[in-house]
Every structure is written in structure tokens, then in C-alpha cells.
Structure 1
């Protein structure tokens, strides 16, 4: 019997890497597809811009209504039909977006609502009502 001689380094013994690369790419695709991206829950913050020129509004317009329905704006008596004109005059001289209506507890609600409507019509955005006790 003849024995085969072992060759030292002439044999081309190599490992085929193609199947291993295929498996690695398939696993990569699997993990990319199955990964879930979670949007974190939280509050959205609206921050002001740096270059805002904000003018500070002056004090709020003061409107008083007594128990008899008499209207006073900044110390002057005003007819209910002239509230819009007086507010617009006040806004021409002062920068404000608020008005405070001080009504007596015995004032009719219709008068207070009418003054509120006229203040909104004149351009006042924020109207607050204060009720004075007796």
C-alpha cells in the first residue's frame, strides 16, 4: 500500500465567507426593521424669540359702574352709548390690552355685559369684572 504524502502548504484550503456575510446582512436588516422608535412624551415648549421688541402695556383701563348704572371711566362720567369712543380715545393715548370693570353688587347685569361688549368692540382684548360689595 502506498501512502499519500502530506503536502505542506500547497493545498488551497480556504473558508468560503459568502454564506457568513449573507447571514450578517440578513440579521442587520432584521434588527433595523424590527426596531421601534419611540417618540418621547412631554410638553412642547414655545420659547420666545431673542429679537422681540416687546412694549410693556400701561396699567389697565378702569371702568366703574355704580348701583344705579352710572358709568365712570378714569374719573369721568360716561354715557353708555359713548363707551366705545371713550375707550378708543384712551387707547390712542395709552398702550394697554386690558380693562377692569368694577361693578357694584346691585348693578344690573345687562349694563355690565353691554360695557364688556363695547370694550371688546373698541379693541380691548382682556376684560375682567370685579364686583364691589355693599
Structure 2
């Protein structure tokens, strides 16, 4: 005679969840997002930009230089001297040849310092040098 209890016990399998494919997929997604993320470099200072009606947004990889109200120059969140601007821009242009230099100057900064920074950028080989401006707000 067939023992039904014994045959049911022998065919019973404990189900397992395999976590390896899930972990592989999570790592692939993590790598995908890390590769596709663009990292934003900042100047390292907060400035009050001057307003300009013709201000346009540039989405290409930009090299940012900051000029504070007191005349300090900042590159990648670090204060630098006017004499080292050229070397920093040359190095950045070597890494990103199509990059445009954007000078983020405070509206109360000295124009002479901004002109010196622009001059050093052009001497470093930057073809596109511009000054950051904000669009005027419409207050009614």
C-alpha cells in the first residue's frame, strides 16, 4: 500500500529567494546613474549677479571663476591669486577643450579685477569668455 504521508513529505521543497540577481541589478543601476550624472563645479562664493535683459542660459561644460565684492578670485571653491588664473584655466581647458569660461562676478566687484581675470583667461587660450548675469525680475 502507498503511504501518502511519506510521498507528500518527500516532494515538499522549501522555496528560496535568490538575492544575487537583485543585487547585480542594483549595482548596475548605481553604476549607470554615476556615469550619467553631470557634476557641477561651483565658484565657492555667493555673489549678487548683475541683471541683464539679454542674459541667456548656457548648458555646455563651463569653467567657472568667481570674483567677490572685495575683489577676491575663486576657482573650485578655493581662493586663488590673479597670477594663477592663467595656469588654472589652461589646466581646465586641457581637460575640457570645448569648455567656455564664465566669470561669476558680484555686481559690486571692481571692474578692473574682472577685466584682469578676463585677460588672464584669454591669455590661457580660452576663446569663449563671458560674464554671468541674472535675468531681471518683473516686479509689478
User: Does the CA-based 8 Å contact 2:61-2:99 persist in structure 1?
Assistant: no
TM-score, normalised via structure 1 length: 0.52
Aligned twin of 1:74: 76
User: Does the CA-based 8 Å contact 1:99-1:124 persist in structure 2?
Assistant: yes
Counterpart pick for 1:89 among 88, 91, 99 = 91
User: Does the CA-based 8 Å contact 1:65-1:101 persist in structure 2?
Assistant: yes
Q: After superposition, what is the alpha-carbon deviation per residue over 1:1-22, rounded to whole angstroms, capped at 9, x for unaligned?
A: xxxxxxxxxxxxxxxxxxxxxx
Aligned twin of 2:121: 119
Instruction: Report the secondary structure of 1:62's partner residue.
Output: strand
Alpha-carbon distance in 1 for matches of 2:124, 2:98? 12
Alpha-carbon distance in 2 for matches of 1:61, 1:100? 6
Alpha-carbon distance in 2 for matches of 1:73, 1:108? 18
Instruction: Report the secondary structure of 1:117's partner residue.
Output: helix
Superposition misfits of 4+ residues, deviation over 4 angstroms: none
Superposition CA RMSD, Å = 1.6
Q: After superposition, what is the alpha-carbon deviation per residue over 1:66-114, rounded to whole angstroms, capped at 9, x for unaligned?
A: 0011111122221011110111111222222411101001110000000
Aligned twin of 1:62: 64
Q: After superposition, what is the alpha-carbon deviation per residue over 1:30-54, rounded to whole angstroms, capped at 9, x for unaligned?
A: xxxxxxxxxxxxxxxxxxxxxxxxx
Number of residue equivalences = 75
TM-score, normalised via structure 2 length: 0.50
Aligned twin of 2:34: none
Higher Cα Rg, which structure:
1
Alpha-carbon distance in 2 for matches of 1:113, 1:61? 17
Aligned twin of 1:100: 102
